[in-house]
Structure 1
Amino acid sequence: MTTGARPDPPARPAVRVTVAQMAVSADRAANREAAADAIAQTAHARADLLVLPEYASAYDPAGVGPEAAEPLDGPWVSALRERAAATGVAVLVGTVLPGSTPERAVNAVVAVTGTGELAGVYRKVHLYDAFGHRESERLEPGPADAPPLVLDVAGTRFGVLTCYDLRFPESARRCVDAGADVLVVPAAWAAGPLKADQWRALAVARAIENTATVVAVGQAGRGVTGRSLVVGPDGVVGLELDERPAVRTVDVDPAAAAAVRASNPSLANRRYTVVPR
């Protein structure tokens, strides 16, 4: 038997992320309670960042429009900021903001720091006018030339896309060009033939081509796919959920991205830039 000082525990990677695959309804008060519970679980796991899905404030599978919209100083964002400040948990979350006219709303992702500060808003650029859906009938797109939303958490930079944006590699590349180490994709990915397969394949592709971690968080429930996943910068899926509501926490190590980018410098080798139109 040997004696001596106990060895130090292994160092934790720089940032810990909680994925909350929520089932969201049209009941905004109930959704606020569910988000507050997810923040509490994130704090209990000693995670730095909580990612909630697209339309986490209110959702209707038949379509979301101005009836679900709240301003940034409304009850939804205000409650998130209060809970973030109380727990030290940063939050990236999908919501619905008022549009430029009463007939339109904006599909947005809000970034809240662990001190409760509103750090930024991403307004979804690519509206989901596909597979029989028409978001543009109720929503207005964000400006394509707006600076990417990139949130710094514990020294790691998280760039934001939303749902249908995942099908457009330029959106991910703009975030990486703005310094993102991790791509975060809140989604309410519509269910249907091959849709879950496409969701997974696109998340893996965005990770490989950008040598970046992808945190893709879907809604659970009627009409949506769920199946949230976390993909490493080498394309390896480290976490994958099924269709049911769930909350899981993962560690993200920026050193892994640095190692992948050193061995596969595809970002440095590219010959084209991304220019909004």
Structure 2
Amino acid sequence: MRIACVQLGVEGGAVEANVDAAVARVREAAAAGADLVVLPELFDVGYFAFDAYARAAESVDGERLGRFASVAADADVNVLAGTVVEDLSASAADGVDVPATSGLANTAVLFDRDGDRRLVYRKRHLFGYGSEETDRMVPGEAVPVADVEGVRVGVTTCYDLRFPEQFREMVDAGVECVLVPSAWPYPRVEHWRTLGRARAIENLTYVAATNGSGDFDGDALCGRTTVYDPWGTTLASTGEEPDTVVAEIDPDRVASVREEFPALRDRR
């Protein structure tokens, strides 16, 4: 599976412009041969645009996410719509299973090549250090997985990287590649590099850590989107500017590494 991780330049609060840019980048990646395109965390509104969350929120069946379902089908590509701000009450009204009947969630939605919704992941670990996310969002509970192009994938979001237990849950569900849409800021660049690689090494799985790019009134995302293989080796990476990172994900590689180095069988 050829994965394209889009390090999008995000403008705080400029929802329509951000979504337009994301749709265009999905089309570009699909035209270049991607099987799966991954967008960063809160690419629609910008992570640090806290006051714009409520204005940006909609159901997972809403018009904005519908654009990504349409582009997935039109461009014949799988799309992880990075994360967006979900209005849980609107989703509940649309018959979607939600963790709470009111509030907002930091939600990733995976669409297949037909534009069908295959996975909805709501960020489990909300970030409170110098952030308003814990005050404005409702945490998710489920850790869903899905098959994409013969690869078992799971999703975590940004701060989830610091909680290895969640990755173990996905490994127990057969995950071979973890997609990590993020809005990871400066100055914690070494944490970003170390945690993504560590989750790959300890779980013997691919990790595709897709960050955003941009400045938000003193806060800046550090970029450095990276794909790690099951040994923790960097397959592809970039700097802090907008870019697209491309790598091949091979489930046979996961199986061979786990057979060669059976650490997961030695868990107690």
Instruction: Establish whether TM, by shorter chain, passes 0.5.
Output: yes
Larger Rg: 1
1:97 aligned counterpart, secondary structure: strand
Question: Is 1:19–2:5 an aligned residue pair?
Answer: yes
1:149 to 144, 152, 158: 144
| Equivalence for 1:233 | 230
Q: Give the number of equivalent residue pairs.
A: 251
Q: Which moved more, 1:19-28 or 1:96-105?
A: 96-105
Q: Give ranges in structure 1 of 5+ residues lacking alignment.
A: 1-14, 272-277
Q: How does 1:191-202 map to 2 (within 5 A)?
A: 191-192=186-187, 195-202=188-195
Q: Is the 8 A contact 2:156 2:181 kept in 1?
A: yes
How many Å separate the matches in 2 of 1:89 and 1:266?
Answer: 34
| Equivalence for 2:95 | none
Q: Is the 8 A contact 1:49 1:91 kept in 2?
A: yes
Q: How does 1:75-86 map to 2 (within 5 A)?
A: 75-86=63-74
Shift of 1:175: 1.3
Shift of 1:41: 1.4
Name the amino acid aligned to 1:49. Answer: L
- Per-residue Cα deviation, 1:222-271 (whole angstroms, up to 9, x for no partner): 12111110011011111111100001321112222112101111111101
Q: Which moved more, 1:26-35 or 1:218-227?
A: 26-35
Question: Is 1:215–2:215 an aligned residue pair?
Answer: no
Shift of 1:199: 0.5
How many Å separate the matches in 1 of 2:76 and 2:118?
Answer: 14
Shift of 1:104: 3.3
Name the amino acid aligned to 2:150. Answer: G
> Cα RMSD between the aligned structures?
1.6
Q: How does 1:1-277 map to 2 (within 5 A)?
A: 15-25=1-11, 26-63=13-50, 65-92=53-80, 93-100=82-89, 104-130=103-129, 132-143=130-141, 146=142, 148-192=143-187, 195-222=188-215, 223-271=220-268
- Per-residue Cα deviation, 1:55-78 (whole angstroms, up to 9, x for no partner): 022115253632221111222210
**TM superposition score normalised by structure 2:** 0.89
- Per-residue Cα deviation, 1:11-68 (whole angstroms, up to 9, x for no partner): xxxx110110001222222122112212211221211100000102211525363222
Q: Is the 8 A contact 2:6 2:244 kept in 1?
A: yes
How many Å separate the matches in 2 of 1:208 and 1:186?
Answer: 19
Percent sequence identity over aligned pairs: 39
Identify the structure with the greater helix proportion: 2
**TM superposition score normalised by structure 1:** 0.86
How many Å separate the matches in 1 of 2:139 and 2:208?
Answer: 23
How many Å separate the matches in 2 of 1:103 and 1:263?
Answer: 48
Q: Is the 8 A contact 2:152 2:176 kept in 1?
A: yes
How many Å separate the matches in 2 of 1:72 and 1:102?
Answer: 14
Q: Is the 8 A contact 2:9 2:213 kept in 1?
A: yes
Q: Which moved more, 1:109-118 or 1:134-143?
A: 134-143
| Equivalence for 1:4 | none
How many Å separate the matches in 2 of 1:31 and 1:41?
Answer: 15
Q: Which moved more, 1:237-246 or 1:64-73?
A: 64-73
How many Å separate the matches in 2 of 1:91 and 1:174?
Answer: 23
- Per-residue Cα deviation, 1:103-123 (whole angstroms, up to 9, x for no partner): 831001111111100112111
Shift of 1:86: 0.7
